[in-house]
Amino acid sequence: MSQVTCPDHSECMNTVGSYECQCLTGFVKNSTGLCAECPEGTHGTNCSSYCACNSTNVASCDHVNGMCSCKAGWEHVTCDDDIDECNTSRVTCPAQSECVNTAGSYACLCLTGFVKNSTGLCAECDKDTYGTSCSEQCNCTLNAESCSHVDGACVCKTGWNGSRCENDVNECLTNQSSCPGDHMICVNEFGGFNCTCEEGYTKNGSNSCIDVDECLNERDNGCKQECSNTIGSYLCSCSPGFVGSGNDCRELTRIGMTVEMQITAPKAISDNTSETYKEWKYMAKNALYKKLKPQVPGLQAVIIKSLRLGSLVIDYDAAIDNETHPDAATDLTVAVMDLAKGQLTIDNQTANVSLTMNEMKVDTTTLACDVFKTVTPCPAKQECQIKDGAPGCQALTPDSGDQRPLYIAGVVGGLFVLATVLVVIVTLSLRRRRASTKKASAKDNGRDTVPAERTFTSISGKLQRSSSDRAASVASGSSLPSSRRMWRPYSP
């Protein structure tokens, strides 16, 4: 009996009276009678079962037993479940990226603020972009130091704020200690601030201000005469010999005089640059000022011009204010005459004073008006006279100086008349004499000219009296008698 052979993928099954070639599980008879593998999606005996696999996610369905082989990324019996690769150790994303699971797969996405570069790695956004894939444009102003590559936040440079760094910070308001030094002033500036000094102060290093000595440089002060520095400012004052305040200075009348005293002064005062000289100058000034001032309210200053040895010689000016003290010249005259008669104390040494003014030695015999004239000349139509015991300028009386031309005319006229009368008298006398001589012939020629001589004698007598009047009045220092004034034009 011959052996029956069934085609591939089939097996022989004995039947009553015959046999049958039945397809194996997973195969089915096709139109040619051969067994072919189950069509896709079916399995089992005669491929009568449908695969239960997810058709999308399945790679293949076993045609015998219907088991699903899943595509990558999917799992479980029917391949319905996505595999979260990010949770497995199989996946490692590069730096600055994160793993993102997807249906059936995963992706490594760059973190916000990073973007994939040509090598596939994630690089930080350039300075002007930010956000996911660096797709946003930064909106900061130029005052920003940087723009966050993640969220675009502007990081401001020092001195600026605001979301776009568009606002200047006023450091002078926000930070009281911006300029901590004394006398410093905070000045706000765009993007910063500056510390300057108050007026009258200057920077000393970066953190302090010191006073400016405006007096050191003429450009820094407006003083016309003296300048003295003060903390934060300066003061103008008048030089010695001037009076007033600030720059309103008026020149004083200065009267020079020399005082000599027999006291012992150190030899060092012969060097006028020495400290001793300065010290003695100061003492001399104070001594003279204290001596004179009580008598001379108009005395504004004693200005020492020089000190000399011998034993001590002080050249100085007394500066008086005639304008506000009309009696200053009179007061000074009296005070100087008192000083010349009195004593002075310098350096605890008291001695008699020898005083010289304008080469005139002032002593007990000196006339007050002579001292006064040295102190101040009288204005026109006035002259020095003693009134109430003190010298001063007094207006000339109406019959004196201002009438002088009239008096000159009067005197000249008077003399002319007198001379004419004399000539007439002499002429008449001569004629009479000649006549009587003729009449008397040679009998009597002894007549003299006594009347004429007597007249001349009386004129020269008047002249002599006038000169002695003048001498007497000069000696007494009193006002001159009118006779002196009358004759003055003819005095040698």
Q: Which is nearer to Ca ion, 37 or 220 (CB)?
A: 220
Q: Which is nearer to Ca ion, 168 or 347 (CB)?
A: 168
The number of angstroms, rounded, from the C-alpha of 383 to the middle of its chain's C-alpha atoms is 54
Q: Which is nearer to Ca ion, 97 or 170 (CB)?
A: 170
Nearest residue to 152 (alpha-carbon basis) of 96, 160, 121, 144: 144
Beta carbon of residue 232, minimum distance to Ca ion (angstroms, whole number)? 6
Nearest residue to 218 (alpha-carbon basis) of 236, 238, 244, 205: 236
Q: Which is nearer to Ca ion, 167 or 483 (CB)?
A: 167
Structure tokens at 385: 């006279």
Q: Alpha helix locations (H) across 175-327?
A: 275-292
Positions touching Ca ion (CB under 5 A) are 159, 168-169, 188, 211, 229, 234
Q: Which is nearer to Ca ion, 246 or 451 (CB)?
A: 246
Using DSSP's 3-state secondary structure scheme, residue 406 falls into: helix
| CA distance between the termini of the chain | 205
d(CA 10, CA 52): 25
Residues 6+ apart with CB under 8 A from 332: 255, 292, 296, 298, 299, 318, 320, 375
159 and 173 Cβ atoms separated by less than 8 Å: no
Beta carbon of residue 165, minimum distance to Ca ion (angstroms, whole number)? 12
DSSP type of residue 39: P
Q: Which one-letter amino acid corresponds to residue 128?
A: D
Beta carbon of residue 228, minimum distance to Ca ion (angstroms, whole number)? 9
Beta carbon of residue 179, minimum distance to Ca ion (angstroms, whole number)? 13
Using DSSP's 3-state secondary structure scheme, residue 7 falls into: coil
Residues 6+ apart with CB under 8 A from 377: none
How many other β-carbons are positioned within 10 Å of the β-carbon of residue 98? 13
Beta carbon of residue 222, minimum distance to Ca ion (angstroms, whole number)? 13
Nearest residue to 318 (alpha-carbon basis) of 352, 285, 272, 366: 285
Beta carbon of residue 164, minimum distance to Ca ion (angstroms, whole number)? 16
Beta carbon of residue 177, minimum distance to Ca ion (angstroms, whole number)? 15
Q: Is omega for the bond preceding 31 within 30 degrees of 0, making it cis?
A: no
Question: Strands 105-110 and 10-15, how do they pair?
Answer: unpaired
Q: Which is nearer to Ca ion, 215 or 313 (CB)?
A: 215
Using DSSP's 3-state secondary structure scheme, residue 187 falls into: strand
- The sign one gets for the Cα dihedral 35, 36, 41, 44 is positive
Q: Which is nearer to Ca ion, 22 or 202 (CB)?
A: 202
Beta carbon of residue 200, minimum distance to Ca ion (angstroms, whole number)? 5
Beta carbon of residue 187, minimum distance to Ca ion (angstroms, whole number)? 9
Q: Which is nearer to Ca ion, 89 or 177 (CB)?
A: 177
Q: Which is nearer to Ca ion, 188 or 345 (CB)?
A: 188
Structure tokens at 403: 């009438």
Q: Which is nearer to Ca ion, 159 or 298 (CB)?
A: 159
Beta carbon of residue 221, minimum distance to Ca ion (angstroms, whole number)? 9
Burial readout 30-46 (b: 16 or more C-beta within 10 A, e: otherwise): eeeeebbbbeebbbbee
238 and 244 Cβ atoms separated by less than 8 Å: yes
